[in-house]
Amino acid sequence: MTARPWGYERADCRGDFALSLFLDDIEHLVDHYSAQTGEQLEARLFRAQAAANKLLQAYEKNARKTDAFTHQFIEIKCIVDGQDKQQFVPIFSAGLKTQLVRLLNQTNQTTRH
């Protein structure tokens, strides 16, 4: 994958901000493996799943002031979009999904000026 800083490496990876960093990182991960078309689908899915597992473990270990990643999991699936293009998507465990929805609801309630 391209060399870029991961959210769990940041000093401000804590609380709800860790969840938003995680979303950016998982998007980068699935986009990367979706684009590796020179490799068989099963191999790409296997590698993407392994990378997602490591990413989640890194957040569980490094994110501070949150337990959103504790005992959670992600399953990487391949779908075909409307243009017949394969895309990898993360399927979040119920606990992680609950935390992400809570964050989304907080974001939607923020007053806009």
pLDDT in tens, the chain (113 residues): 657 899 999 999 999 999 999 999 999 999 999 999 888 999 999 999 999 999 999 999 999 999 999 999 999 999 988 898 889 999 999 999 999 999 988 877 765 54
Range of the domain at 27: 13-108
Helices (H), 2-93: 15-34, 41-62
Q: Note whether residue 90 is domain-resident.
A: yes
Neighbouring residues of 86: CB distance < 8 A, sequence distance ≥ 6: 34, 41, 78, 79, 80
pTM for the whole structure: 0.89
Q: Note whether residue 78 is domain-resident.
A: yes
What pLDDT does 85 receive? 86
What pLDDT does 109 receive? 76
Give the H or E element holding residue 92.
Answer: strand 86-92
Give the angle 104-107-108 at the CA atoms, nearest 5°: 90
How many domains, the chain? 1
What pLDDT does 59 receive? 98
89 neighbors 77 (Cβ within 8 angstroms): yes
